[in-house]
Chain A
Amino acid sequence: MSAVRRDIYSTETDTNGIEPYNMLRKLISLFSLTAIVLIPALYSSTGYTDTAADLVAEGKKLSFDRQKGNCLSCHIIEDGLMPGTHGPPLIFMQRRFPDKMQLRQRIHNPLAANPNTMMPPFGLHGILSAAEIDAITEYIHTL
């Protein structure tokens, strides 16, 4: 933070005297400060603290966690060890679910598609929170 401040309030004049360049630097600095302050504020108000990549990583962690998604107990998932065999391998997910929300719905309540499925209704039965299902959806959709 202090590095950014020094930049903005710098009294040094640019030695080669190119004003537009100086202005650009100041603008970028202002942007990054805005981002630093605003992004966490925005995310905390919606319950997120992660960037998109972090969300996918969090989703992977939840998917593999035996106490959470435990998806590996039934599905083959990329580098996951000791997968089960009851569900289909989780591959080509974007082709199978072009609409990400459809995938989210399948995780939330698979009974809607098949009331006899072995897959637990993670959202309908409160096994996972909405935020956890969001993260898992983000991850699974990358597969």
Chain B
Amino acid sequence: MKRWLPSLLIAMAVAGASMMTLAAPEDDRVAFENYFLTKFPDTPKSDFVNGIYSIDPISRDQWLDLEEFPPYELALESGETLFETPFANGKTYGDCFDNGGIGVRQNYPYFDTERGEVVTLELAINECRTANDEKPLKWKSGPIAAISAYMAFTSRGQTINVVIPDDSRALAAYEEGKKFYYTKRGQLNFSCSDCHIGGSGGYIRTEKLSPSIGHVSHFPVYRLKWGAIGTLHRRFSGCNQQVRAKAFKAQGREYRNLEYFLSYMSNGLEFNGPGVRR
């Protein structure tokens, strides 16, 4: 028995390694979710959509106070106005989306099998503009964040349900987002996972680090630090710069694939954007 034990172990290791590469995204998601449910047993699963406030009772109270008169309200109003104002050709954003663009946040991000790439809500908003001979908006803040916030607001309570179609390119996009998430980057050598999986719940000075599950649910967000509403990709580039990595282009392939992976990890939770954060 002792003689063949090493070879058995090697065989198991090889089998394990090959399973690793074939691991279905759903296995990833279940493990991801279980990690946070185990780490934060006092937080009900549905509450992770509230990000840091789902695990930090002290800042949660301050946040609930903020939500009484939410600072994103002005952005919601201007977003609604922008959304309803017809383009020069007489058409509106509503003409570009299912259900006139109301309550459709949960359809994004998705993998477009015809184009072979991930389409996010903000990408769809700007492509709606260019299809109607309007100039595209800047990606990270301002009008696009306001429109996105309004569309998210009309979709509150819808379930995140990212589907990975049976298309090797879709799986590749997911895998690329996953690799991005777990890869250390920048002079300070941090990965997203360093802070928001292993580090979640811990403190950087007085700042408690948020859990990754539910991260995408509440974007765009009004950040007190920005004094304005901004998109998820604006937050991505901020994170990258904080670890002293060169930020990637908002709505470039890298960040769209990251959004695809991160949204998939939050499948089953509800969209509750826009949010307000410190």
Contacts and interface: CB of A to CB of B under 8 A. Distances in A.
A and B touch in the complex (CB under 8 A): yes
Interface of A: 72-74, 82-86, 111, 118, 120-121, 125-127
B8 interface: no
B7 interface: no
Nearest to A110: B189
B203 interface: yes
Interface stretch (B56-64, B66-74, B165-173, B194-202): B194-202
Nearest to B198: A118
A74 B204 contact: yes
B205 A86 contact: no
A118 B199 contact: yes
A83 B190 contact: no
Contacts of A74: 204
Most chain B beta-carbon neighbours within 10 Å: one of A84, A125, A127: A84
B188 A86 contact: no
- Decide if the interface of chain A is mainly helix, strand, loop or mixed: loop
Nearest to B207: A84
A127 B187 contact: yes
Contacts of A83: 203, 205
Contact of B203 (A85, A111, A127): A85
8 contacts: A74-B204, A82-B205, A84-B205, A118-B194, A120-B187, A120-B188, A125-B188, A127-B188
Given A118-B195, A125-B189, 7 more contacts: A73-B204, A73-B205, A82-B205, A84-B204, A86-B202, A121-B189, A127-B188
Interface residues of B, number: 13
Contact of B202 (A84, A120, A121, A126): A84
A86 B204 contact: yes
Nearest to A124: B189
A121 B184 CA distance: 12
A86 B203 contact: yes
Contact of A85 (B190, B194, B202): B202
Nearest to B189: A120
A82 B206 contact: yes
Contacts of A73: 204-205
A107 to B, nearest CB: 13
A65 B188 CA distance: 15
A72 B195 CA distance: 16
Nearest to A127: B187
Given A73-B205, A74-B204, A86 B199 contact: yes
B190 A72 contact: no
Interface string B127-158: 00000000000000000000000000000000
Contacts of B199: 86, 118
Contacts of A86: 199, 202-204
Nearest to B188: A120
